[in-house]
Structure 1
């Protein structure tokens, strides 16, 4: 097609936004100097299109002729910033030279011009100049249509560009937000998702989430997030930092939740009365929206450090977001109530403390399955026998309900009673088989299955005697003479589960200093769509490659050895026969701001007395201080620091006694940063992890010691 625009010598009519009729300029451009020729010579249909473009309040542009010369209106001029007015009448490829070749930019216009096919694209990012220079990435809806002359030939392309408003983009992101909330289980999960969404979707400086305490005294708890705050994967492993307040707390989020009325502050100091640091003090504009939930009371707030007028779309988006958060919060409250009851029942039937022996170090770990609402039948135990030997057991009662947990308690108690009378493993399981059969007959069911592995460790003889009733074979991690560790399963006769015809059988193997025994439930190795042999191989490989044979570390390694979610509970018990006795010490830490400092002094003195290398002391003291800080912030209760030193490693654990206490107020400079602390622990320790306990949680770390 020639580079003209359907030239027909027709008198020109008035052009809106242009000079008076007869003037050679249109929108300030001398078109006679271009390949299109004077405006008066253009085809009437093309001039009519130009009239529409120049008169329209929406951003529109014409790309005319083979060179796609630009003619546009004032609204489009606002979009392209300081490219105007030089862009008028110039080839679009020159005007947008830095982006024209990007996918979806120039090729779209050129395709429509060549083929006459219209084009519509929603949510396309286009980098356009703004006033003041520079490129700004924005999202637009763009339509390209062919402009034809009086003979039906394509003479150019009409481009209509509308920037998608932030509120529109935010509304479109609600579906992603709802999907993320649907995967939350606890209030901590809801808080993480809600704060992450609010601060990014609204591009806010500060966001917060408040919720009532339910049946725990009528108070409130609130968690916030600040722009630029370090939140990474390690940080997400620990609960959010909740602040707690009384029923009459004056925080805007709490007032909003209590009254059920939204509030919007465009400019001022809305957080002046409750500010805890400079982040709160700098907030000038704040919106607080109630959750609108039927059972739970709560609110979501979004704040900015500069004045901000809350538009109607923003208010609608906030209301919709808060409603989604309210629904997720109610689900989480129900889950936590059921989960807490089930887990309290489960853990109350497990030993709260495992025995401490000079040469045997013991640790256990229990994690509920995916559901987490039902009490399971997995159990473990370790106890000293009258002979001085150690009895260890791990079993699984079929079922995931209160009845299964109750039967688990009966089986565990009976096993200990039988072992204290006659510790031979085969005789213990034979007596236990009769009990399980009796319980099944009493309940009128033949579906009471119990698998169990029971062993006796004789330290003096360096022997382990095991018996199993349908349970996975235990694993032993051994150190060869050259120091290279290996792991192998004990070839113990498995037999049938208890209650369905157990036949006694035992196996005695060597258990020497440096070895670690690992008993585990099938939830450790079984995964859907994977064979059992694959899980067992992954477990053996992970245990063999563990940095040490420390039982607490091996429990964590075993729990994470096989990737993928499991619907079953996970129970692990590990016993290490130490090469030499270890030294241990503990400190009770009060719930007060000076506690981390006291822990640092105590740790330094204790490790110095034990002649630990200074480099290890520095790392251990810093990590312990961080864990103590986290325990005080998250639980608000007293904590316990335990230190265990062996010739191979230093193990430190910090245990709290709950997660629903009142958080102690402390100055910001007194308590260190969560993200920084966890990053330090990752960097300075050889292994670390968290273990749930009967009344709280334990966070631990291990540092391997250099050879003497």
Structure 2
């Protein structure tokens, strides 16, 4: 929602506020902002000041309307457009300054719309009256782009308008507006790099573009070459970063260190640092620093023929780099906060689930839309002293560190209670006393915890459950002579923990071939539809799954209900297998020969297990691709696991490192990039990705025909 410009206590004096400011910048900085709702310039939010400084330094006509009154801030180029209205227009409401044009379509209402909705907007080639000289009104054609301006807290505080008087730049403005909108949706540096490279190669019709950031202990760079095969599936993979030593003297690092653009119209700018023929062929190059306050880096555009960099082209590249810099800073903050929150979250979840002959178990946890805070969803599965299996899924309300800490307390207490007395009603009654005590200790009545706990007795083919305010579990039953059917178990929900929970227990049949699904409300709840719709969609999706394999069903469940959810999502699936499966694994070293070794090992293993040749070929090809991608993007050892049952072959490849640490030698050797996940989609019946405590796991499933 729009808001007033944020204030900061005792802010440092801005650099652009120095006496050296001249022209329109001097008028803006010396304006009596203290007499407006925005307050003194020194007290403006840093993000708003940064946007203003970017505007004042830009050669492109720009204006910034701030606050509910749309008070005007603009630069020299815009001052030339409004003629004798400058300098009196500075700090005044836009509706007053442009009273004759404000009611026109695409003017006042466009600014209001962007300010209220936060959606960027491009108004193409409209005719507006301009008073360039006293007594003379000119009808001028403009293209204007409107983008929301946010403060450091993410609130909309104004609208940035970029104006172009010639139709020749309409396409560039449209592209720049789309670029800004695309960058606004990025979360990580991988996302920023993908968007920046895609935009730069197209907008500048370049032969080579690159994006680099300073990682502290060195540089990280990614590039794209004209004509390089990048399909839709490949776009979803992390970009292929190259590590560069901190002392590197290439144009990318030189421009980033100095803050000064480097432009070569004709020459061999990459001759000394070329890594392949693409770099060697570059004749013209422009490298622009990001000019971000936290992230140091640059954006580079190159051509294989001489190219004259006009002022307009340089300005467009500089503006693009500014947008990339802002997005990179947001991404760096997000990655730092996200990594800490997710490390906390996942460190409180079980690192490994039990590996049992007749019980296949899988779980999945996905953070909410923000993904930037720890949550309270949790799951667990563990063996009881008598050999039975305890399973649990719960939800502690909240999306902060405190919620995650309470989740850890509840999960640890539940396992301790279950190992002493596994009766579900007794376990939840003990948890209720714990939550009541935690609430009293914290002097809060807002401690809201729901949980479902069950005990699986495989020998007696039964399942005993109790619930404390949690959604009813879903079970997928395997019909011997028909399609699978699903049903929600009739487990009384009872009251959430901490409210005197005394839930009854329910015992149901759990036969071989059945799969149980425990899930949090984030799986089925959406703001725009009722809960029944979500529950029906989940039941239909699980029933229609190709197999009852737990890992596949976890992926099916998390994608069953369309649309995004702001809540965390947790799923735990347990399959009572018809027959025990066979499994094995291989540790894959981070070296160029690894994919070949995996292919030979897997072919031999599946042949020994008498898997049909057609399935062996598809599985080996998919596994080779996943292994290559894991080594390319993680740069650490990977682990390949095979699990074969009479119904399906399940293969997973897990990496264990941070993305982007692959060496140059590995990049050259592991060159089977390009087919990627599109190949997995084509050859497998189901596939998915599972985040782990460190790294990620990609898996696929191939169904085995009967007989």
TM-score by length of 2: 0.75
SS in 2 for 1:616: helix
Quick check: 1:191 aligned with 2:193? yes
Deviations 1:50-76 (A, max 9, x none): xxxxxxxxxxxxxxxxxxxxxxxxxxx
SS in 2 for 1:173: helix
Quick check: 1:440 aligned with 2:442? no
Shift of 1:392: 0.6
- How many pairs are equivalent? 551
Deviations 1:75-116 (A, max 9, x none): xxxxxxxxxxxxxxxxxxxxxxxxxxxxxxxxxxxxxxxxxx
Spell out the pairing of 1:396-545 with structure 2 (5 A cutoff).
396-545=395-544
What residue in structure 1 maps to residue 154 of structure 2? none
SS in 2 for 1:207: strand
Distance 1:489 1:168 in 2: 56
SS in 1 for 2:675: helix
Shift of 1:669: 6.0
Distance 1:457 1:387 in 2: 11
Shift of 1:251: 3.4
Distance 1:182 1:163 in 2: 26
What residue in structure 2 maps to residue 297 of structure 1? 296
Distance 1:273 1:366 in 2: 48
Quick check: 1:230 aligned with 2:229? yes
Quick check: 1:317 aligned with 2:316? yes
Flag the 1:570–1:170 CA change in 2: closer, same or farther, 3 A: same
Flag the 1:486–1:275 CA change in 2: closer, same or farther, 3 A: farther
SS in 2 for 1:372: coil
Quick check: 1:560 aligned with 2:559? yes
Flag the 1:426–1:330 CA change in 2: closer, same or farther, 3 A: same
Quick check: 1:342 aligned with 2:344? no
The higher radius of gyration belongs to 1
Shift of 1:668: 5.7
Distance 1:511 1:278 in 2: 63
Quick check: 1:212 aligned with 2:214? yes
SS in 1 for 2:687: strand
What residue in structure 2 maps to residue 657 of structure 1? 656
What residue in structure 1 maps to residue 594 of structure 2? 595
Instruction: Give ranges in structure 1 of 5+ residues lacking alignment.
Output: 1-120, 125-139, 142-161
Spell out the pairing of 1:255-294 with structure 2 (5 A cutoff).
255-294=254-293
Distance 1:458 1:185 in 2: 44
Shift of 1:312: 1.1
What residue in structure 1 maps to residue 369 of structure 2? 370
CA contact (8 A) 1:171 1:317 kept: no
CA contact (8 A) 1:464 1:509 kept: yes
CA contact (8 A) 1:626 1:672 kept: no
Flag the 1:579–1:464 CA change in 2: closer, same or farther, 3 A: same
Deviations 1:411-447 (A, max 9, x none): 0000000001111111110111111101101101111
SS in 1 for 2:669: coil
Deviation larger for 526-535 or 249-258: 249-258
Flag the 1:608–1:404 CA change in 2: closer, same or farther, 3 A: same
Deviations 1:599-640 (A, max 9, x none): 111111111111111111111111111111111111111111
What residue in structure 2 maps to residue 55 of structure 1? none
Spell out the pairing of 1:323-338 with structure 2 (5 A cutoff).
323-338=322-337
SS in 1 for 2:664: coil
Distance 2:441 2:350 in 1: 27
Distance 1:421 1:664 in 2: 51
Deviation larger for 582-591 or 240-249: 240-249
Distance 1:228 1:387 in 2: 63
CA contact (8 A) 1:254 1:299 kept: yes
CA contact (8 A) 2:514 2:575 kept: yes
Shift of 1:122: 6.7
Distance 2:304 2:255 in 1: 20
Distance 2:647 2:168 in 1: 58
Spell out the pairing of 1:19-98 with structure 2 (5 A cutoff).
none
Deviations 1:180-206 (A, max 9, x none): 211211111111111111111111122
What residue in structure 2 maps to residue 644 of structure 1? 643
Distance 1:658 1:668 in 2: 16
Distance 1:341 1:622 in 2: 36
Distance 2:519 2:250 in 1: 48
Flag the 1:250–1:589 CA change in 2: closer, same or farther, 3 A: farther
- The one of the two structures with greater contact order (alpha-carbon pairs below 8 A, sep at least 6) is 2
SS in 2 for 1:322: helix
What residue in structure 2 maps to residue 175 of structure 1? 177
What residue in structure 1 maps to residue 112 of structure 2? none
Distance 1:477 1:459 in 2: 16
Quick check: 1:705 aligned with 2:704? yes
- RMSD after superposition: 2.1
Distance 1:290 1:265 in 2: 15
CA contact (8 A) 1:449 1:500 kept: no
Instruction: Give ranges in structure 2 of 5+ residues lacking alignment.
Output: 1-122, 127-141, 144-163
CA contact (8 A) 2:183 2:324 kept: yes
Flag the 1:331–1:233 CA change in 2: closer, same or farther, 3 A: same
Shift of 1:480: 1.1
What residue in structure 1 maps to residue 693 of structure 2? 694
CA contact (8 A) 1:632 1:664 kept: no
CA contact (8 A) 1:423 1:456 kept: yes
CA contact (8 A) 1:635 1:658 kept: yes
Shift of 1:243: 1.1
